[in-house]
Chain A
Amino acid sequence: MTALLEVESLGKRFGGVTAVDDCSFGVPEGSVTALVGPNGSGKTTAFNLITGYARPDSGSVRFAGASIRRPDPVRLARRGLTRTFQQARVFADLTLVQNLVAALQQPWWAAVRRAVRPHERTRTLELLEQFGLSALAEERAGNLSYGQKKLLEFATVLMGEPRLVLLDEPTAGVNPVLVEQIEERIRDLNSRGLTFLVVEHNMNLVMRLCDPVVVLDHGTKLAEGRPDDVRNDPRVLDAYLGG
């Protein structure tokens, strides 16, 4: 499997703190890759660097074979790289349908068209159906529960038909039923060719769902490989349990 995303020697310092240090790993195309590590290991910073929300001090990112010189969220999204956020972010004052339609990537001259066209509406309703949210289609997104917002956010990033989705702690703060639902969605989408890079703390989920697993510690890669191999790696155990 070729790597859809390649991270090479990524580095980032905030003041005196080194968040990410000479970090390199790859995300094979068609995989559900996990990015794990103890708190403070630099996972979210790595996410931010890859998706253009922070500028790396050193290192490079390659997506779909092309080197990304200055990662910029808008351009990356249009190339097929998109992400969700740790705290589920939705457009609160817009309806669910509007939330989804806003994520449609269109050429600039389409801006004069009607905001929500009939076939776009149909498409969003289909997607909402898959996520169990179709009953709330015209509801204000801000009125959703936290779990529903997470689902909505997940659905929204799919509207742009991405190639790679970065999920930042998709099951954090969410009840077990919803965790199952999210896992089901990831499996389903992955089977249809969508690649995922997931930051997660839920180890059971990671072991079930993800391959490969990349372990970060103190901003650098500690291990990378199949879940069973990584689970039994003494360095990984040390990092999680040791001081």
Chain B
Amino acid sequence: MHNVIQAVILGVLIGGVYALMASGLTLVFGIMKVINVAQGALVILAAYLSYALFTHLHVDPFLSILVVTPAMFVLGVLVQVVFVRTLRGPDASELSLLVTWALALGIEGVLSVIFKTTFRATNPSYANRSWDVLGYQVSEVRVLAFCASAVLLLLLSVLLTRTRFGRSVRATVQNPTAAALLGVDERRVSTIGFGIGVSMAAAAGAVYGVLYPFNPGSHYDLISRLLSIVVLGGLGSLGGAVVAALLMGVTEAVVAVEISPTWAAFSFFVVLLVVLLVRPQGIFGLRERTL
């Protein structure tokens, strides 16, 4: 029992970080029906940026969020304008899947050239500290990462519910035609929305490097997790992404402890299939087959 609760704690903590990464992914889908397969690669890019800042300028990884996030917001805007916006026609969604996949490969390639394929990890002095809470081991960096993620997700939800821009975003998600007729600038919403989605990944990436060793190829593992999360939660649903991410974190951690670490990822896929069997639209997704 003790091990299971320990695993649940660990699962929740890491789930929070995945929730942050996934939020960007599902937000972008909600706005423009585009799946950014490069989200994982962008997380890794941010991890490298944070790593470089730490290794060369001794910037604390959590502080580097303040630098990396705006920088990658700009990158996100650029990517959307140059690559994603040009896709037109009925196949735009599927083409975007492939274009962003190609982009992810490009990012992986560039990172491999610059940093080579050796695994890196950002190791601030407190990386291995952990606290003892009621008999359970709680890693300091994981708590910090979780808190950072929670704060950012809160900021995102405030942005979406209490600002004018947020209202434009939600209108576009629910009914793009009506939103456009009411004066919402769809292009602006798409571009800024994409930028925000990438910034979420960036912030998560800045701390990811402290939690796990990474190399350019790590984005595959990440994106496969993120994709499962957004589908399980319901494409376009922020709340769904958060719930699904926590569910994934807990499932994988518990399976790793109770059965074996090698089956952790597979067990989550089984959870995904079972949910899709009952609700093809995901936990919080809208009914698929309506007119």
Contact = CB atoms under 8 A, between A and B. Distances in A.
A touches B (Cβ under 8 A)? yes
Interface in A53-70: 53-55
A85 B291 CA distance: 9
Q: Which of B287, B289, B290, B291 gathers the greatest number of chain A CB atoms within 10 Å?
A: B291
Contacts of A53: 289-291
A181 interface: no
A53 B291 CA distance: 7
A21 to B, nearest CB: 19
A53 B290 CA distance: 6
Nearest to B289: A53
Contacts of B289: 53
Contacts of A54: 287, 290-291
User: DSSP class of A's interface residues: helix, strand, loop or mixed?
Assistant: loop
A54 B291 CA distance: 8
Interface in B67-110: none
Contacts of A85: 291
A85 B289 CA distance: 15
Contacts of B290: 48, 53-54
Interface string A78-95: 000000010000000000
Interface in B5-30: none
Contacts of B291: 48, 53-54, 85
Interface in B259-287: 287
User: DSSP class of B's interface residues: helix, strand, loop or mixed?
Assistant: loop
Nearest to A89: B291
A22 B290 CA distance: 21
A190 B213 CA distance: 73
A151 to B, nearest CB: 21
A48 B291 CA distance: 8
Contacts of A48: 290-291
Nearest to B290: A54
A240 B102 CA distance: 57
A2 to B, nearest CB: 30
A53 B289 CA distance: 7
Contacts of B287: 54-55
Interface in B193-231: none
A174 B291 CA distance: 22
B192 to A, nearest CB: 27
A54 B290 CA distance: 6
Nearest to A73: B289
A54 B287 CA distance: 9
A85 B287 CA distance: 19
Contacts of A55: 287
B3 to A, nearest CB: 42
B279 to A, nearest CB: 12
Nearest to A52: B289
10 contacts: A48-B290, A48-B291, A53-B289, A53-B290, A53-B291, A54-B287, A54-B290, A54-B291, A55-B287, A85-B291
Interface of A: 48, 53-55, 85
Task: Give the 7 A-B residue pairs with the shortest CB-CB distance, closest first.
Answer: A53-B291, A54-B290, A48-B291, A53-B290, A53-B289, A85-B291, A48-B290
Given A48-B290, A54-B291, 8 more contacts: A48-B291, A53-B289, A53-B290, A53-B291, A54-B287, A54-B290, A55-B287, A85-B291
